[in-house]
Chains A and B, each alone.
Chain A
Amino acid sequence: MTVSRRTLLGLALLPLGCDSSKPHEGFLGLTERLNDRMQRAFFRPGKLASEESAGALTPQGAFPLYKVADEYPAAPADWKLRVHGLVARRLDLSLTDLRRLTPTQFRVRHHCVEGWSAVASWQGVRVSEIARLCGADPRARFVEFRSFEEGYPNAGASPVRYYSSWDRESVEHPQTILAYGRNGAPLSLGEGAPLRLYSAVKLGYKMVKWVDEVVFQPVRTGGYWEDLGYEWFAGV
């Protein structure tokens, strides 16, 4: 509990079931589920984020590159993308394999949960293409993306791999890709090299960097920040 950090107004919210240290519970949990449902209702699978002009590109270096580990994690030498779960065929894809698939790119605005926005162009392969290749089962309503980056969300406890679970509809969106390039160049380490999730329809923390696993699942799980209290759907 962090009572000392609470303001008077914050304390007044407690009897209403508004405990901001447990945002998935009480009144806040109720409205989060309501908002999740509303967001899914709002979501139109064919609605594309508009292309930004070249002039709107955020200067290299001004685009924040976040991490939860102490250092940006370097990929193991034998890195491959493992695709499994409710699929007809498990896949192990190297970067060369991924580059052979139909490439796609877009230049869109990035929306961070903190409130800032920035613009970059992203190059990669649609996750819908991967889903088709592995024969993902329609019963897999959710997809979990896992990273080889490890953070320490709870002081003193064991490390946790960064991950995030998505609704299948957002995964299949044409602007949801596994990206290997940004602004025309291969991803730098800080940008998530060798491969990261990128999407025009989610907040930044849903876009897992340093991805090495894609798992098609029948159930919704959480995520690194989601488990700490951030909202699960987080669409834009």
Chain B
Amino acid sequence: MASPRAEQPLAVRITHWANVPLLAIMAASGLQILAAFPEMGPKGAPAGWYPLQGWTPPAWMRAGDWLAGARHVHFGVAWLFVANALVYVVWLVISGEWRRRTFHPRRDAGNALHTTAWYLRLRKSPPEQGLYNGLQRLAYTLVIALAALEVLSGLALYKPVQLSVLAALFGGYEGARAFHLLGLAALLVFTVGHVALTVLHPRALASIFTGGRRA
């Protein structure tokens, strides 16, 4: 980097914290939409793999009150969710920050394995790291890819005929619907792990509020 830059520059902090309510609203309105038909698989052929067939998410997990309300919230806030993500990705590219924030298999795979082994107490010391270790880079890169897939599977659900090629990539309308829900579950797993790890690393937690040290 030519000039000293904070660990978490303003662009990161803003898009990161904007993402918290946006993702929560998308998830909760999505679950309200699911509640209208809480099953997987087409009518007459329920999917055997889905363990929660017929299970309605509890009211506290939902937003939008009713199906039409939730659809409007979901398709309205989706614009903000996508815009926020685009701001972050464009900033990543323009600032050159993608180099130290995204996962590069050759550079980071060994470090990611070492870090995982350390968390599992299989190694005594963590690997050397700069801003992020390899495991963080892997997680933060995968979660962006996952969010992009959520948007794409959502578009396939919204326009299964007009975007039939996209829908076919997910296995058609029903495939896209299953993918969209499983993607939400994966995002939830990420969020739980992400929050748990920041509790273990309070300095990293502080930097997403304050910006952290200048390098």
Contact = CB atoms under 8 A, between A and B. Distances in A.
Whether both chains belong to one complex is answered with yes
Interface of A: 2, 5-10, 12-13, 18, 20-21, 23, 27-28, 30-32, 34-35, 39, 42-44, 47, 49-50, 56, 58-59, 62-64, 109, 111-119, 200-201, 225, 228-231, 235-236
Given A112-B37, A116-B39, A229-B69, A9 B63 contact: yes
Contacts of B64: 10, 20
A49 B161 CA distance: 5
A201 B34 contact: no
A228 to B, nearest CB: 7
A28 B43 contact: no
Given A31-B79, A116-B39, A228 B161 contact: no
A6 B65 contact: yes
Given A2-B65, A9-B24, A111 B72 contact: no
A29 to B, nearest CB: 8
Contact of A20 (B69, B160, B172): B69
A153 to B, nearest CB: 12
A7 B59 contact: yes
29 contacts: A2-B65, A10-B65, A20-B73, A21-B65, A23-B69, A28-B69, A32-B72, A34-B79, A35-B75, A42-B159, A50-B164, A59-B44, A109-B42, A113-B36, A115-B33, A115-B34, A115-B177, A116-B39, A117-B42, A117-B173, A118-B44, A201-B162, A229-B69, A229-B72, A230-B68, A231-B68, A231-B72, A235-B161, A236-B161
Nearest to B38: A115
A229 B68 contact: yes
A109 B73 CA distance: 26
A45 B194 CA distance: 46
A235 B159 contact: yes
B174 interface: yes
Nearest to A19: B69
Q: How large is the interface on B (under 10, 10 to 19, 20 to 34, 35 or more residues)?
A: 35 or more
Main SS of the interface on chain B? helix
A201 B158 CA distance: 11
Interface string B36-63: 1101001111000000000000011011
B162 A44 contact: yes
Given A42-B163, A56-B42, A111-B173, 11 more contacts: A8-B60, A18-B77, A20-B64, A20-B65, A35-B75, A58-B44, A63-B44, A115-B33, A118-B44, A229-B68, A236-B158
Nearest to A225: B68
A119 B79 CA distance: 31
Among B65, B79, B177, find the residue whose CB has the most chain A CB atoms closer than 10 A.
B65
A111 B34 CA distance: 14
Contacts of A116: 37, 39, 42-43
B159 A236 contact: yes
B42 A119 contact: yes
A58 B45 CA distance: 8
Nearest to A200: B161
